[in-house]
Structure 1
Amino acid sequence: MSRPDLPRAFLTAPIAHRALHDVTRGRPENSLSAIGAAVAAGYGIEIDLQLTKDGQAVVFHDYELERLTGAPGTVREHTAAQLGDIALLHGDGETIPTLAQVLSKVAGRVPLLIELKDQDGAMGPDVGPLEQATATALVNYDGPVAVMSFNPNGMAEMARLLDGIPRGLTTSDYAHDDWPLRPELCDHLREIPDFDRVGASFISHQARDLARPRVAELRAAGVPVLCWTIRSQQAEEAARAVAHNITFEGYAAAIPLTSTG
């Protein structure tokens, strides 16, 4: 198993969380309009993937459709074509895009950070179809791209399927009250024990937990540290004392003059 380096582009321009969404301007999260706005502004982009009934990767954060579309049911109960007929709220008719559509929209112009949502439900080994759909979409993609997940098993599977794409772990303080997981599993995952097992090359860590010694240990070993989710300039300044780059939303993060986008 290789450990591909995270491209430097991921450490320069701030990364727009779920793309540059702003419903007041008709740009829902993870929508093509939010993707286009992020590209135009020169930001990196973070997106989320879920699996459809027919085994396709679509760009959508939640398992349930209701919050973002008003429609009942789950992503997993619908085909990609059916989801393509369900309008996003506040999106001027936009629907749920596939990963292939987003890749075509970005076209390598800015770095793309792809989070695969846990399909097992308990951070377990029941993974594979979403990783396969992701690998299939990415195999010929030309541009800075990286994948990550809270579930280490998903990243182990991505290593098997497409070893040349940089992999990371989305990491957290795993507060027991915040996660519908067994407390002992939260305690296990909190210390990022699977970093080497999955051949990870970076982490994206919860901003409020950046002072964790394990994060400092990884950074000292040369591991790029990203963080989520920053919502103000003040929070950004605090996070950058540890993190190499931020994932942000809700304000205009500054792009360094040295950034190449």
Structure 2
Amino acid sequence: MPLPAAFLTRPIAHRALHDIATGRPENSIEAVRAAVEAGYGIEIDLQLSQDGEAMVFHDYDLARLTAEKGPIQMRPAAELTRIPLTGGTHPIPTFAQVLEEVAGKVPLLVEIKDQDGALGPAIGRLEQAAAKALDGYRGDVAVMSFNPNSVRVFGGLAPDIPCGLTTCDFNAEDWPLVPKARRERLAGIPDLAASRAQFISHDRNDLASPEVARIKARGLPVLCWTIRTPEAEAEARRIADNVTFEGYLPPIPA
């Protein structure tokens, strides 16, 4: 499925429209509601609970974003949904809860976080949970992952939902657990066809790469992450079709 046009016109709020100073933690119900009210697209992250529920949460560990510690995968969903997000009033939401909040009012870009640990093939449970939650959802939605295996598997489970690859230069500093050969291969973005990806979301610091130029020449949409100033947005839009942003409020085209 091609990426809906709404993903190319409305700037996309990274981890929803979060602002901890005003009580909106990242990936929170508060941030989702603020993005919907402002009319921005929304990007969120999915992690897996111990009992196989898709949770809207970025990190693998609870410590940075809550008062708890330990891997999110070691807690059941019922327990996770009672843990408040630091700086907000709502707890960690399930994917189903966020879908109910968005309800098709703005485009929703969903990143499936790698569950293999090294961007390999040991995945499947989170993809299944995400597909289950999205079954029957009405609205513009797209799913992406850094792991091409996740994109391929999710696409097989939900062929009517457009999928894409989250991409970057896969440097060793940012990806210390991924073997060098794997990182070097993924940096070339070789899995578009095998994963049936219909777009990429690429690191803004690497937008001038020949791999991105090759993908644009094929006519596939290029999104980028993460833009934090109007000046950076203007620079990114010289190449990217749309931006994922945080920390400022970009204009929404009429």
TM-score normalised to structure 2 length: 0.99
In the alignment, is residue 66 of structure 1 matched against residue 63 of structure 2? yes
SS in 1 for 2:193: coil
Partner of 1:222: 219
**Off by >2 Å, runs of 4+ in structure 1:** none
Match of 2:229 among 232, 236, 241: 232
What's the offset of the Cα at 1:94? 1.1
Matches of 1:220 and 1:101, distance apart in 2:
38
Which letter maps to 2:47? Q
**Separation in 2, partners of 1:56, 1:120:** 17
TM-superposed CA distance for 1:132, in Å, is: 0.3
Match of 1:251 in 2: 248
Structure 1 counterpart of 2:159: 163
Q: 2:193 aligns with which of 181, 193, 196?
A: 196
| Local SS of the residue matching 2:24 | coil
Distance (whole Å) between structure 2 residues aligned to residue 138 and residue 32 of structure 1:
18
| CA displacement 1:178-222 (0-9 Å, x = unmatched) | 212112211100010001101100000000000001101111111
Correspondence for 1:146 among 123, 142, 148 = 142
Distance 1:177 1:140 in 2: 40
Three-state SS of the structure 2 residue aligned to 1:140 is: coil
Judge which range, 42-51 or 168-177, deviates more. Answer: 168-177
CA distance in 2, matches of 1:81, 1:39: 26
Report the 3-state secondary structure (helix = DSSP H, G, I; strand = E; otherwise coil) of the residue aligned with 1:256. Answer: coil
Q: Deviations over 1:28-71 (max 9, x none)?
A: 00000100000000000000000000100000000000000020
* SS at 2:189 equivalent: coil
Q: C-alpha root-mean-square deviation of aligned residues, in Å?
A: 0.6
1:68 alignment partner, SS class = coil
Match of 1:177 in 2: 173
What is the CA distance between 1:254 and its match in structure 2? 1.2
Hey, what does 2:52 align to over in structure 1?
Answer: 55
Q: Find the aligned partners of 1:130 and 1:238 in 2 and give their Cα distance.
A: 35
Query: 1:36, 1:183 → 2: CA distance?
Result: 40
Determine which of 133, 154, 175 is the counterpart of 2:129: 133
| Structure 1 residue 141: Cα displacement | 0.2
Q: Secondary structure in 2 aligned to 1:176?
A: coil
**Distance across 1 between alignment mates of 2:150 and 2:174:** 21
The 5 Å alignment of 1:80-119 reads 80-91=77-88, 93-119=89-115
| Percentage of identical aligned residues | 58
Distance in 2, Cα, partners of 1:51 & 1:16: 22
Q: Which amino acid aligns with 1:161?
A: L
Aligned partners of 1:23 and 1:85: how far apart in 2?
19
CA distance in 1 between counterparts of 2:30 and 2:83 reads 16
**Paired residue total:** 253
Distance in 2 of aligned mates of 1:37 and 1:7: 22
Shift of 1:72: 1.1
The one-letter code of the counterpart of 1:68 is: L
How far apart, CA to CA, are the structure 1 residues paired with 2:190 and 2:147? 12
SS in 2 for 1:125: coil
Any stretches of 5+ residues in structure 2 without a counterpart? none
Q: 1:120 aligns with which of 98, 116, 123?
A: 116
Counterparts of 1:13 and 1:71 in 2: how far apart (Å)? 35
Is 1:206 paired with 2:203?
yes
Which structure exhibits the higher relative contact order, with contacts defined as CA atoms closer than 8 Å and separated by 6 or more residues? 1
Report the Cα offset of residue 256 of structure 1: 1.1
**1:136 partner letter:** K
